Chain A
Amino acid sequence: MLKQNRNWSADPVLSVEHLTMRFGGLVAVDDLSFDVGRGDITALIGPNGAGKTTVFNCVTGFYKPTEGRIALRRDGSVTPEALAELTRSGRQYAEGDKGSIFLLERMADFKITEVAGVARTFQNIRLFGGMTVLENLLVAQHNELMRASGYTIGGLLGLPGYRRAAEAAKETAVEWLRRVNLLDRADDPAADLPYGAQRRLEIARALCTNPVLLCLDEPAAGLNPRESAELNTLLKYIRDDHGVSVLLIEHDMGVVMEISDHIIVLDYGKKISDGTAPEVRSDPKVIAAYLGVDDEEVEDVERDLEVKPAPTRAEGDAR
C-alpha cells in the first residue's frame, strides 16, 4: 500500500514490535507494534489509561516489558538481518561501521540514555529543584564530563583537559538556555521557575544528553496557548536543526495535530489507528474511542469497525 513509502516504515529510528506489558492480571499494553520515523515528530495519543506512559516507560527502560522487542537504529543503514542476528546473539547492542542497533528492552534505564541516546521527560516534572538552572543542564552532561575529568582524578588535580571540557559543557548549557529563553534565570534554583519554564528546562536538560530520540511525556500539560505555541516552535527547531526524532504523548490536540508527522492512537493497550494527522482525525475508530457511542449503537459500530464484540470493549465504548 501507500504506507510502504512513508518515512516511518522506510527509515525508522525506533521499532516497537509485539510489545506486551502485564502488571499481574492487568494487560496495560497488548501486542503493540509501531515505528517511529527518523527526523519525525511522532505523537502517541489515546484516552486516559490507554497505556501511553507504560509504552514510554518500556522504551526508556523504566519498565522491563513482558514481551516484545524495542530496537533503536542510530543510523539508517541497518539491515533486518543484522537486527535478527543481534537478537539471537543475546547481546544488548551492536555498534559497527554499518550502523548501530540497540535492543532497548535488554538495557538498563541509564544505559539507554548513555549509550543508545534516548532522553525523556516526565509527566510530573522532575527537575533538580534545589540546584540552579545551569547546574541542571550540567548534570545532564555527566557522562561526558566524567570521562573528561578522568573519573574525578584528573578533575581533582585540575588538569587542563577537564577545564576545557567543563567550559565546553557550560557553553552547551548556555546555548540551550538561550534557545529555550531561560538564560536570564540561569543562576536561579530550578524550583523557583514558573511551570511553563520548568517544562522548557526539562526539555533542554534532556537535550543536553545529546539524544537521537527525545521522548516527551505530555510536554504541553498545564501550558497556556502562547506557551503551547512556543513549545511547537521549539519542537520543530529540535527536529529540523538538530535532527532529533521526537516521540511525544500529548492530550492537547492543538499541539498534536499541528506539529505531528505521524500519530499513533492507543486504546486499552492496543493500537487503533496509525497514520498522518488528517488520516487519524477522520478515522471512525479514533472518534469512537475519544467521544464514545450510545449504548444502542455499540453493536452497529463494532460491526462497522469489525471489532470482535468482547464484553469489556462494549462496556468501555458505552462510556
Chain B
Amino acid sequence: MADITQSASANRPEGAERLSEDRREAMRGEPPFVEAPAEDSRLVRALKEAGITAGLIAVLTFFFFFMKTDIAVGGLSLTVDPWTWFVAIAITFVGRFLLTFFVFAGERPAVGGWKKIAAATAGWPIGKVVGAVLLFVALTLPFLLTIFLPSQDRYLLDLAILILTYVMLGWGLNIVVGLAGLLDLGYVAFYAVGAYSFALLATNFDLGFWVCLPMAGLFAALWGVMLGFPVLRLRGDYLAIVTLAFGEIIRVVLLNWYTFTGGPNGILGIPKPTLFGLEFSRGKGSFSDFFGIEYSSIQRFIFLYYIILALALLTNFVTMRMRKLPVGRAWEALREDEIACRSLGINTTNVKLTAFATGAMFGGFAGSFFATRQGFISPESFTFIESAIILAIVVLGGLGSQLGVVIASVVMIGGIELLRNLTGLQAIFGTGFDPTQYRMLIFGLAMVLIMVWKPRGLVSTRSPSAIYKEKKAIGADLVAQGEGH
C-alpha cells in the first residue's frame, strides 16, 4: 500500500500541470472557509465614501476653484479663492453622504418606487405622448411666450429657433449615423455648403429664399455623394477620420477662396425670407401693411420660427417614412451587417450614398435657413465644434431615435444658454462667482453623467419598422452600432 502511494507521488508531474491537479484535489473537499470581512455600519460606510469623494473633488478642482490666474500688468497675477473650493468640497461631501446613507446603503432599494412606476406605465406609449406634447408646445410656442413671458419673448423665441436648427441638423445626421451606422465627423460641411449656396445665389443672382432652399439642399446632397464615394470602402476609425478631414477641407476652401466666398470676411446682406412676397419690415408692401396690423419686430422672428419648425417637421416626416421604405430598412440592415446585406442582393454602395445624400440634403436646408436668419455668414460658423455638437446631440439622444434628438437638443443648446443665467448660484459660491465661466465645465459634467447613466443615449430602444401582430421595442443591447463606434 505504502509502495503504491510512493510511486504515485513520485509520478507527479511538475509545474503548471501539478498546480492544476492540486487545485482539483482541493476542490474535491469542502472549499476552504474564510471568514467574511466585518462590514462597516451604515454611518461609517457613508462617511468613508463621502470622504473619498470629497478628497477626489478637492484634488480635481484645486486648479479650477482654489487658484485663479488673471492677466495683469507685467504677466499674470494669482488670486487664491479658497471659499469656492471649500463650498464645492462641502457640497460633494454632503451629497455623497446622503446618497450612500439613504440610497446605496439604504435598508430597501430606493429605486423600487421608480420600478413600480415603470411597471405601471409599461403599457403606455410614453414616446407617443411625449412626442405629441412636444409637437403641441412647438406649434403654439410663439403665442405661449407672448402670453406668459412677454418680457423675454424675443430672446426665448430666438433660442427656440436655434434649438430647432440643431434638432433639424440632429435629425439629418441621425440618418447617417443612427440609421446607416456610418460615423460622420464632418457633417458641418453640408451645413456650410447649404449656407454658402444660398448666400452666393442670393447675393449674385438676386434669388429669394424659397427658390434657393431646394437648390441649397440639392447642392448639399451632391456634396454628400462626393464625400460618399471616397469613404465607401472605409470602416470604423478610418471612416471617421476621412469625414473629419472632409469637413475641414470645405471650411479651409471657404476661408481661402477669397474672390468667390469673401474669405474670412464672409458674405453680408443675405436677404430675409418673405411670405409670398411680403417682407417683414416697415412701410408699404410689408406683411404688417398688407394685413393692416401694427408692425412689430417680433413678427419676423415668429415667421422664422415657423419656417424652421416646418423644415424640421419635414425632415422628421421624411425620415420616419423612409424608415418604413425598403431604402430605410436597407440603411438599418447595413448598420447591422454589411456582408449579409450583400448576400441578399443589396447594392451597399447605393445604400451608403443615399444615406449620405439624404443626410446632407437636410443639412443643406438647415444651412440655408441659418444663412437667412443671420443675414451674414463666414467660415467661423462652420468649425469642427459644430460637427461635434451635432454628433453629441445624436449620441446623447440615442442613435436612431427621433425623440431622443429633440430632448438632447433642448438639453444641450438650451442648457448651455440656461447656464449663462444661473445667477442664483452666486448665493452659494459668493458674489464673485460668474456662472458663465463655469458653464462649459458644468455642461461637460452633465454629458459625462448622461453617458454613465445611459450609455446608449436617452432613448435607446429601437422600434421596428414593420409589425406582424404586436409592436415590441427592441433593447439597445441587441442593436448594432455600425461602423466606427
A152: Cβ under 8 A from any B Cβ: yes
Q: Within the assembled complex, what's the spacing in Å between the Cα atoms of A237 and B329? A: 29
Residue contact B343 to A120, C-beta cutoff 8 Å: yes
A126: chain B residues at CB < 8 Å are 337, 339-340, 343
Residue contact A110 to B345, C-beta cutoff 8 Å: yes
A155: chain B residues at CB < 8 Å are 321, 325-327
A132: chain B residues at CB < 8 Å are 464, 466-467, 472, 474
Q: Within the assembled complex, what's the spacing in Å between the Cα atoms of A122 and B340? A: 8
A86: Cβ under 8 A from any B Cβ: no
Q: Within the assembled complex, what's the spacing in Å between the Cα atoms of A148 and B279? A: 44
Q: Which of B322, B325, B337, B474 contacts A189 (CB 8 A)?
A: B474
Residue contact A149 to B326, C-beta cutoff 8 Å: yes
A264: Cβ under 8 A from any B Cβ: no
Residue contact B326 to A145, C-beta cutoff 8 Å: yes
Most chain A CB within 10 A, of B345, B346, B469, is at B345
Q: Which of A122, A152, A209 contacts B327 (CB 8 A)?
A: A152
Q: Which of B335, B343, B354, B464 contacts A135 (CB 8 A)?
A: B464
A32: Cβ under 8 A from any B Cβ: no
Q: Which of chain A's residues 279-294 have a Cβ closer than 8 Å to chain B?
A: none
A38: Cβ under 8 A from any B Cβ: no
Residue contact B337 to A110, C-beta cutoff 8 Å: no
Q: Which of chain A's residues 169-195 have a Cβ closer than 8 Å to chain B?
A: 170, 174, 183, 186-189, 191-192
- What's the nearest-Cβ distance from chain A to residue B313, in Å? 15
Q: Within the assembled complex, what's the spacing in Å between the Cα atoms of A138 and B346? A: 12
Residue contact B342 to A130, C-beta cutoff 8 Å: no
Residue contact A186 to B469, C-beta cutoff 8 Å: yes
Using C-beta atoms within 8 Å of the partner chain, give the interface range for chain A: 35 or more
Q: Within the assembled complex, what's the spacing in Å between the Cα atoms of A183 and B470? A: 12
Q: Which of chain A's residues 66-123 have a Cβ closer than 8 Å to chain B?
A: 109-114, 119-122
Q: Which of A111, A113, A121, A152 contacts B325 (CB 8 A)?
A: A152
B337: chain A residues at CB < 8 Å are 126-129
Residue contact B466 to A146, C-beta cutoff 8 Å: no
Write the B327-351 contact mask toward A (1 if CB under 8 angstroms, else 0).
Answer: 1011011011101111111111000
Residue contact A131 to B333, C-beta cutoff 8 Å: yes
- What's the nearest-Cβ distance from chain A to residue B171, in Å? 16
- What's the nearest-Cβ distance from chain B to residue A90, in Å? 22
Residue contact A149 to B468, C-beta cutoff 8 Å: no
B465 to chain A: closest residue by CB: A135
Given A130-B462, A135-B465, do A187 and B472 touch, yes or no (CB 8 Å)?
Answer: yes
B318: Cβ under 8 A from any A Cβ: yes
Given A128-B332, A142-B329, A145-B326, do A174 and B468 touch, yes or no (CB 8 Å)?
Answer: yes
Q: Within the assembled complex, what's the spacing in Å between the Cα atoms of A105 and B140? A: 61
Q: Which of A129, A146, A189, A205 contacts B344 (CB 8 A)?
A: A205
B464: chain A residues at CB < 8 Å are 131-132, 134-135, 187
Residue contact A135 to B466, C-beta cutoff 8 Å: yes
B344 to chain A: closest residue by CB: A140
Q: Within the assembled complex, what's the spacing in Å between the Cα atoms of A142 and B480? A: 20
B474: chain A residues at CB < 8 Å are 130-132, 189
Q: Within the assembled complex, what's the spacing in Å between the Cα atoms of A121 and B462? A: 26
Given A129-B478, A155-B326, A192-B478, do A109 and B343 touch, yes or no (CB 8 Å)?
Answer: yes
Q: Which of chain A's residues 195-217 have a Cβ closer than 8 Å to chain B?
A: 205-206, 209
B466: chain A residues at CB < 8 Å are 132, 134-135, 138, 170
A1: Cβ under 8 A from any B Cβ: no
Q: Within the assembled complex, what's the spacing in Å between the Cα atoms of A51 and B39? A: 61
Residue contact A156 to B345, C-beta cutoff 8 Å: no
A298: Cβ under 8 A from any B Cβ: no
B326: chain A residues at CB < 8 Å are 138-139, 141-142, 145-146, 149, 152, 155
Number of interface residues of B (CB under 8 A): 39
Q: Which of A62, A119, A134, A156 contacts B468 (CB 8 A)?
A: A134
Given A131-B464, A132-B464, do A60 and B329 touch, yes or no (CB 8 Å)?
Answer: no
Given A139-B330, A152-B322, A187-B464, do A130 and B343 touch, yes or no (CB 8 Å)?
Answer: no
A233: Cβ under 8 A from any B Cβ: no
A143: Cβ under 8 A from any B Cβ: yes
B479: Cβ under 8 A from any A Cβ: yes
- What's the nearest-Cβ distance from chain B to residue A183, in Å? 8
Given A113-B343, A130-B336, A142-B344, do A187 and B467 touch, yes or no (CB 8 Å)?
Answer: yes
Q: Within the assembled complex, what's the spacing in Å between the Cα atoms of A152 and B330? A: 12
B28: Cβ under 8 A from any A Cβ: no
Write the B454-479 contact mask toward A (1 if CB under 8 angstroms, else 0).
Answer: 00000000101111111110110011
B481 to chain A: closest residue by CB: A130
Q: Within the assembled complex, what's the spacing in Å between the Cα atoms of A142 and B332? A: 12
- What's the nearest-Cβ distance from chain A to residue B398, in Å? 13
Residue contact A110 to B347, C-beta cutoff 8 Å: yes
Residue contact A187 to B327, C-beta cutoff 8 Å: no
Q: Within the assembled complex, what's the spacing in Å between the Cα atoms of A111 and B345? A: 6
- What's the nearest-Cβ distance from chain B to residue A271, in Å? 25
Q: Within the assembled complex, what's the spacing in Å between the Cα atoms of A280 and B322? A: 52
Given A129-B336, A156-B321, do A143 and B346 touch, yes or no (CB 8 Å)?
Answer: yes
Q: Within the assembled complex, what's the spacing in Å between the Cα atoms of A135 and B324? A: 10
Given A60-B343, A146-B327, do A110 and B336 touch, yes or no (CB 8 Å)?
Answer: no
Residue contact A134 to B467, C-beta cutoff 8 Å: yes
Q: Which of A119, A151, A152 contacts B343 (CB 8 A)?
A: A119
Residue contact B479 to A187, C-beta cutoff 8 Å: no
- What's the nearest-Cβ distance from chain B to residue A181, in Å? 15
Residue contact B480 to A130, C-beta cutoff 8 Å: yes
- What's the nearest-Cβ distance from chain A to residue B45, in Å? 39
Write the B347-371 contact mask toward A (1 if CB under 8 angstroms, else 0).
Answer: 1100000100000000000000000
- What's the nearest-Cβ distance from chain A to residue B81, in Å? 50
A205: chain B residues at CB < 8 Å are 344
A112: chain B residues at CB < 8 Å are 345
Residue contact B343 to A122, C-beta cutoff 8 Å: yes
A145: chain B residues at CB < 8 Å are 325-326
Residue contact B333 to A189, C-beta cutoff 8 Å: no
Given A128-B336, A135-B464, A139-B333, do A188 and B472 touch, yes or no (CB 8 Å)?
Answer: yes
Q: Within the assembled complex, what's the spacing in Å between the Cα atoms of A170 and B464? A: 14
Most chain B CB within 10 A, of A122, A183, A187, A209, is at A187
Residue contact A186 to B468, C-beta cutoff 8 Å: yes
Q: Within the assembled complex, what's the spacing in Å between the Cα atoms of A152 and B336? A: 21
- What's the nearest-Cβ distance from chain B to residue A25, in Å? 26
Residue contact A142 to B478, C-beta cutoff 8 Å: no
Given A142-B329, A146-B326, A152-B325, do A127 and B478 touch, yes or no (CB 8 Å)?
Answer: no
Closest 7 CB pairs of A and B: A130-B479, A113-B345, A114-B345, A186-B468, A128-B336, A145-B326, A126-B340
> What are 25 A-B contacts defined by CB distance under 8 Å?
A62-B343, A110-B347, A119-B344, A120-B343, A122-B343, A126-B340, A128-B332, A128-B333, A129-B337, A130-B480, A132-B467, A134-B468, A138-B466, A139-B344, A142-B329, A142-B344, A145-B325, A145-B326, A149-B326, A151-B327, A155-B321, A187-B467, A187-B472, A188-B472, A189-B472
Given contacts A114-B347, A152-B326, 8 further A-B contacts (CB under 8 A): A109-B342, A119-B344, A127-B340, A142-B329, A149-B327, A183-B468, A187-B467, A187-B468
